[in-house]
Structure 1
């Protein structure tokens, strides 16, 4: 398991440290500035008065927004996260376009940022080039005469970022967190999940499957394949067989089941029929490691058998298709439009592509993310904000510490282990202490595909070269401009990039209550991942180790089963239900994060009564702050993909489902038996 993303707890003096601290306006100081008049921080204009908060809190708080907001034509969904990301893009655009306009010295980050962007924005040149930037790689595929050549070529295409049947990533060894290891993982599908290939009783998935076949044929035709129709059928059949031997998303959530240590020399015994030595040599793993972790052993065996019986011509067509598909966004308009027609419209529902400048910003971020982030932080993330957030996180961790001691379902011995793990949590706020070095990357103003290939190869080598080296505990898995957060169990760290530390998650001009319900619960969410059904299997050093007593396991599993059942009953679309097992970890984190945030808010009041603002009590504003974070709308194809693949439940269920289990919510809004938001006390899941 690599990381868990998204959406945290406090103690004594957070009120003063959060909303009553100085504003970030230039020249303001805590000593000289007058105490600001704080707002409620709630978008009351979106409240739907015809809906009772006791019946549907999400609809009550966001009803007018849901009714009147159109999802932008270039988006598959729209809400708090997407809007904040969209608000950040013009800031990034200014940084990047400024770099493109400057005549910076060759080899500087500014030159690379500017030239990468310029190479993407030069549409006229890309039209002239057509497919030609891929000719050299297409020739390599065409030149393959024997299947014995495939393992080395497949390894090369891992390096270039193609989604081929076996990939790997470098991370800490889950049973020896002092070492890096390569983890072999199943891949190779052009659609989001095995269900898209194998579910024969779902008309919408069948339609997506048919359109995928058409997409393959069109891509191959654009690339000059005269046998595109026949090859498309063969590729779809081949990927269907790959899907058949893949593990499900739920199976892949088990960190014990997916930890299978295999010596390099024994891979051929585990999965005979494929030349693993050639693959390892081509991937660069040979000589750097003596063993790997195989996440899905039966898949690897099934793939090896499939590789042997698949005709060479099918393999070549498959690689040609995945090469063109992986780089279509960097070619001429015909390739760009075809790729978007399938992935953007068919699978996600967006009727039109993003403006080119937005896509260009994304391209540069993928290649030079921290170089852009370094400048973004300078211009848009004041040092004062980071200091305030560090104090907030410290207080949240302290509140968690208090909460562990009061648990009635955890044994004293396990509480001691939990406290030890909590004490070793590493918070990372805003941006890394050490920035990535991009000196190995060559960027040319007239070579977009080359820039993308070289940037992928640089990142590949950066990861590969970790093998045999000490663990880098300063590294970040997200850029500062990412609107998200994560917990990494192997480093036992919680990470909050700069961009998420803005309204509606954190509002410096709002009263504390909404910030506890927003960023406080987000922080609590990430801390909780260390104690969810996956994270709790790792100790404070990041090692996969069972530190729970049998009775703790029993009690925790009973609570988890209740959450699974609750969320499995939710349905965002007719015929599609939330997968309670797939979303369990995130649902535990939502449940726990909000509970801790509510406890911390009460602690922060120091016995005083919270102010009433806009007619709402402090406790009410806290829960409103939580629900407005999840304000979201999603197009049907994107909603189907989320239910099938995403470990997070849809936004309305993250809001309402979490609130139904919070005793404080019942008190704040006088929820009683007969109300639709009501769960009997025996049915409420209370973990922290």
Structure 2
């Protein structure tokens, strides 16, 4: 199941937003200016590089902290949230009622912060797992371990998920995905440029260190690391590329279990499903069947003893962050080469993230109670309504879409479900056992609870109240299988959204976010789903051909953007997000023009409302990254780098030209007839 976000949710690949502030206070944060004019670089013409014009002085002076891979407004908002969550957790450290929210999140946090106990235990917590691997004698016992590990959240060669059936979206189905790699992506095993070769080397060193930390001598550890790497490289050969994974129809493959049992006997599908707790299902969505076909062969081609070495590395690596300090240090040494981060984050920051990840809706309840007032949710709901009206008007006036297709698009737009702030129904964590002295066991209990929650949905009607981000998350997403847009409380605050900000600022910032997520329902992927979330072509052939032509032009535009040295944006990988950025800007603009300020010309700080709208938009993407992280993001992230998320849409948007008097000869200038228009 594909979920598309404003920015990728993973820590290493989140997009950066800008710090924009205003008079008064919001959420307890002192503010001075909504548009930070002190960072404007007046030596740059707005029509040459608007991102540089708005953010230039900030970009020239900001330093990336040693424990960060990037800085920017979004990063600051994320850091502010971390501080707020830390305060909540530290307030929960006292003696609390057993089983209460405060006891569970507080003791989980405390157990992770207790490095004395963690270091004393070393790798004792995983010794039973390593012994189980050592006891493996054949394929059936190997697959039993694989299933048992998956139930602890430790997925190795099997990646199992429960979610909506993409062609019967009212019901949940079991799905399987390609997996099995330690490097971030298949291409890392095959590229031969110097940067990738350094990452490959660092990864093999990391694998060897995992073995030595668990008692293997150095020579054997290096040999075992080479074995693991070679197995993973064979697995990588069966993986689809990131671009191929964007093909919605090619990644939906509902296959009878009986067929898999007969064609892939080495996997032992019947026993695997039984051991996963998913017995009784008659069909599966095998999203990348080529991977499991290759795995079926590899299971017999690779000797059992080598598979045991692979599983040991996978198991140790899965728990490196919850064992003793030497394990997390080894993981950081590898991450340092991968991302360019110079210093490991403070332990408290890692622990705040761990609590949010493993007990997210417990911590989230405390977070929204303290930091997300009802009036913020009410204002956000009104903004979403205004953006929906603007998008509807845009669809109605499209000059390239037929009336029939427009009518269906309008129905889908009106059917979009909005979620704002936090879930209406909170997850149950009553079965999670938390002991302030047992961080490892706490993590296992939380992971098992998350697995069992997911498993409990199998074969049942889809629960549309489920959230896939926690309330403190600084992000947003669109889910095509439920046709929902979701905005966690974490993003609905300063500097992205402020109830005291003028409309130009809010519509240029959070308005763009809302429009971006709405547009995902109509991008090159989302447009393949109908109003209820089924893969279903609702386009006329003529309209689809026109749409596909626009998709190709978007891809070509972004392919031409140079990011670093000779490194270019990958237009095909970033297509959906680029289209959502185009739509987000256009829809937010139209909604802004419906407001009183949007129809006014009164200047604030010397800039018109129209100019402030675009300046706010450029501020939210203000960011600066380490070069290594930029390279990683180009390989992995479906979002374009920040500057091009601003320049790409604006150089094709007529109101921007008018607001800043962009003329022929300016570097962003495109002839009116050549400007790309979608929504």
* DSSP 3-state at the match of 1:572: strand
* DSSP 3-state at the match of 2:237: helix
Q: Distance in 2 between matches of 1:188 and 1:241?
A: 10
How far off its partner does 1:268 sit?
Answer: 2.9
Paired position in structure 1 for 2:357: 366
Q: Is the 8 A contact 1:414 1:548 kept in 2?
A: yes
Paired position in structure 1 for 2:223: 230
Paired position in structure 1 for 2:347: 356
**Structure 1 counterpart of 2:141, from 129, 149, 152:** 149
Paired position in structure 1 for 2:6: 6
**Structure 1 counterpart of 2:266, from 235, 252, 273:** 273
Q: Is the 8 A contact 1:563 1:584 kept in 2?
A: yes
**Structure 1 counterpart of 2:609, from 607, 618, 632:** 618
Q: Is the 8 A contact 2:176 2:285 kept in 1?
A: yes
Paired position in structure 2 for 1:11: none
Taking the TM superposition and a 5 Å limit, the aligned residue runs for 1:582-601 are: 582-601=573-592
- C-alpha spacing 1:511/1:146, structure 2 compared with 1 (3 Å): same
**Structure 1 counterpart of 2:429, from 438, 445, 470:** 438
Q: Is the 8 A contact 1:274 1:308 kept in 2?
A: no
Q: Is the 8 A contact 1:285 1:464 kept in 2?
A: yes
Q: Distance in 2 between matches of 1:386 and 1:66?
A: 33
Residues 417-475 of structure 1, C-alpha deviations (whole Å, 9 max, x = no match) = 10111111111111111111110111111111111111111100100110122221111
* DSSP 3-state at the match of 2:512: helix
Q: Distance in 2 between matches of 1:596 and 1:564?
A: 21
Paired position in structure 1 for 2:472: 481
Alpha carbon RMSD of aligned pairs, Å?
1.9
Task: Say whether residues 1:74 and 2:67 are aligned partners.
Answer: yes
Q: Distance in 2 between matches of 1:20 and 1:640?
A: 35
Q: Distance in 1 between matches of 2:347 and 2:201?
A: 29
Q: Is the 8 A contact 2:503 2:598 kept in 1?
A: no
Residues 593-620 of structure 1, C-alpha deviations (whole Å, 9 max, x = no match) = 1011111111223884232111111111
Task: Say whether residues 1:342 and 2:334 are aligned partners.
Answer: yes
Q: Is the 8 A contact 2:338 2:632 kept in 1?
A: yes
Q: Distance in 1 between matches of 2:642 and 2:45?
A: 19
Q: Is the 8 A contact 1:39 1:511 kept in 2?
A: no
Paired position in structure 2 for 1:290: 282
Q: Is the 8 A contact 2:27 2:494 kept in 1?
A: no
Paired position in structure 1 for 2:47: 54
Q: Is the 8 A contact 2:166 2:533 kept in 1?
A: yes
Gaps in structure 1 of 5+ consecutive residues:
8-18, 27-37
* DSSP 3-state at the match of 2:485: strand
**Structure 2 counterpart of 1:160, from 152, 155, 171:** 152
**Structure 2 counterpart of 1:131, from 109, 123, 128:** 123
TM-score scaled by length of structure 1 = 0.94
Q: Is the 8 A contact 2:165 2:171 kept in 1?
A: yes
* DSSP 3-state at the match of 1:593: helix
Paired position in structure 2 for 1:64: 57
Paired position in structure 2 for 1:175: 167
Q: Distance in 1 between matches of 2:262 and 2:574?
A: 35
* DSSP 3-state at the match of 2:509: helix
Paired position in structure 2 for 1:206: 197
Paired position in structure 2 for 1:30: none
Q: Distance in 1 between matches of 2:27 and 2:587?
A: 31
Paired position in structure 1 for 2:448: 457
Q: Is the 8 A contact 1:23 1:508 kept in 2?
A: no
Paired position in structure 1 for 2:210: 219
Q: Is the 8 A contact 2:113 2:351 kept in 1?
A: yes
Taking the TM superposition and a 5 Å limit, the aligned residue runs for 1:258-407 are: 258-287=251-280, 289-343=281-335, 345-407=336-398
Gaps in structure 2 of 5+ consecutive residues:
8-20
Paired position in structure 2 for 1:115: 107
Aligned residues: 662
How far off its partner does 1:489 sit?
Answer: 0.6
Taking the TM superposition and a 5 Å limit, the aligned residue runs for 1:561-600 are: 561-600=552-591
